[in-house]
Structure 1
Amino acid sequence: MTANTVFMFSGQGSQYYQMGKQLFDADPVFRSWMTRLDDLACRIAGHRIIEAVYAAPKSEVFDAIDYTHAAIFMVEYALAQCLIARAIVPDMTLGSSLGSFAAAAVAGYIEPEDALAAVLEQAAAFAASCERGGMIAILADPSLYEDDFLRRHSTLAAINFSTHFAVSAAHADLAPIEAVLRQRGITYQRLAVSYAFHSARIDLAEEQFAWFMKSIPCASARLPLVCCERGAALKQLSDDYFWRVVRQPIRFREAIASLEGQGRHRYIDVGPSGTLATFVKYALPDASASTAHATLTPYGQDLNNLARLASDAHPRKMEQHG
């Protein structure tokens, strides 16, 4: 049985300086879309995203939301078009948190220009209305969240697989949470985000964003969209979809389980860091015949990863049309 191809799009925390730079320098499709979207972002927000991403040193933490929100969308959408140009075509898309914007644009629910405008507006709403916060990824069974200390000082933000979840918290609570985890010998990582996404701490931004979204049209899509907020595939989007995906918990483990119940899949991570490909590998059942593939990573293998995916796509295409 031929595997369905799923393009997966990650959200805040997956970004880093210089992401996609190899493709920007070498691939005309990727560069063309990045430049086109950058011109639009500059007209809307008054600053260049490409300049911020590629001019800065790689070692610094990249968490300024007025740049990161747009940068993630731009890289993901441009990478998706780069893959499609190489005959690596999705049968469905999957969006996690902010990645839902690119997933919806690639699936045809929303025009990429409208999606970028919405991403920029959402970032502006967060900056205008919300106090700073953060998120911590925790390598442990999600049942650990039932711990009284974690429940009192954070919000469960995501369950990615059986031994990996994330919490959101106020900025003042991040260090105390990390101290408790460290004391207990639990592995954790603070994510490169500047707000407590997927928690009530971003609710003050909802009104501004919802008002803006009334002007953005949504169409009937070409492809199913797997929603990590619902943990299932959708065929149409609710009016508040683009708010819910950043406000409600991420149910990535459930989304993959839902897909695996339908058969074999080829999961291609179209995010900046390859994080979702790693999550899939841990979320797949032992007997699964599905595969997971990273494209961009921080480790300088972008062109090699893309070449491997492209070489795999051509036999599939010949098999389908043979």
Structure 2
Amino acid sequence: MDTTSFPLQLLEHMHGTVAVVGSMNVDYTITTARLPEPGETVAGGPLELLPGGKSGNQAAAAALLGADVRMFGAVGSDSNADFLLDHLAAAGVDTSHVRHVDGPSGLTVITVDASAENTIVYSAGSNAQVSVDYVESKIGELTGADVLGLCLESPIETVTACARMCHEAGVRVLLNDSPFTADLPAELIEHTDILLVNEIEMAQLLDLQAPADDDWSAFDWPLALERLEALGIRQAVVTLGADGSVVLDATADEHVTRIAPVRVDAVDTTGCGDSFMGTVLAGLASGWSLAASARAAAYVSAYAASGRGAQASYGTPAQIRAKFEA
């Protein structure tokens, strides 16, 4: 495997502080030969309970790479709460700021087929109780970070309040518009420094036509950056699945940077996007450029695709180097 596009030894020098606010879920995962059609029943393998949640995944990925990661969110009063917190702590995440509430913790039901494709159903549980009052009570811990990671598995008013508090304090705010919404609040956009979306989400958000043949190599990326700047966001990473990613950065000398994919035999793509985001967070906290962070994320997310589950498939710098430098 050619690693000349990114010196993997740099993964062992991650540092800086990352704050992640959002969701933690237990993933109830079943593997099947193929995904069921509507109304169809298919046979599956044994049920696996794995730690997940977009924000929890992102926090775990960043911590495994060496960043100082603080997790903010809520778990319930069920046994899943300890399961989630124990796995995050094992990855090196500081969970001391997580809120405990009555009721069930968040969960997802995931089906993974033989081609590593998946379907996911999300039940918010305790994630719905990540309130504005709660994050405001943690303002000192949040604004003491170098970078903040957000997604949309928490109440939108809470996500917006976090972005505002941290942006105004000089903390860089990275928003993963997922689960995707094309109608982001103006205040959230105003206080977002960097956006992370996939190609279809980007086209919908910026009112651009996706290529009919799915050939994104010929897409008008400078126009996408122009539309993005019109929204008030000057930096973004657009993921292209197996085709890599594109960094749009009006603050850099190179405004459009194509990041090549790292090829692996995929086993399960669950949580790969979250490992990508966690790596970008860790890279930014370490003082890296957005493009360098995305290059590192290509390797980290490819490593994740070669194992099952979300957090369960994430690697340390030593494990990732061993795989791709062999």
How does the TM-score come out when normalised to structure 2?
0.28
How does the TM-score come out when normalised to structure 1?
0.28
More helix by share: 1
More strand by share: 2
